[in-house]
Amino acid sequence: MPSTTIAMDQWRNAPRPARACGHVHDTTSRYDHAGKRLDFLLVCPVCGTETVIETLDYEPHFEPLGASVHALPPRRDPQPVRRAA
């Protein structure tokens, strides 16, 4: 059995926190830059309640190469938009 299948089985069988309401919840994540922590949450769009499901220590290791923002080259020959008759 692949490790991803085992991980999914563990996730499906993991205990879940009790919901504060009976609404359908959305899932989201938030990154805390100061704490270098990634939180996974259940959010109720009706009540606005949030429940933390899991917290991971996380620090991105992205190093940009060169300029991250650059101007696009100008268009040479603007072509008219073709429209149906």
Break the chain into its structural domains and give their ranges: 18-57
pLDDT in tens, 11-26: 677 666 555 688 899 9
Q: For 47-85, write each residue's pLDDT tens digit.
A: 888 889 999 999 888 776 766 666 777 777 777 777 776
Residue 37 tokens, joined: 């922590």
User: For every residue of 65-77, which 3-state class applies, written as one string?
Assistant: CCCCCCCCCCCCC
Q: Which of 40, 34, 72 is nearest to 56 (CA)?
A: 40
pTM of the model: 0.49
Q: How far apart are CA 42 and CA 24, in angstroms?
A: 10
Determine how many CB atoms are found less than 10 A away from the CB of residue 1: 6
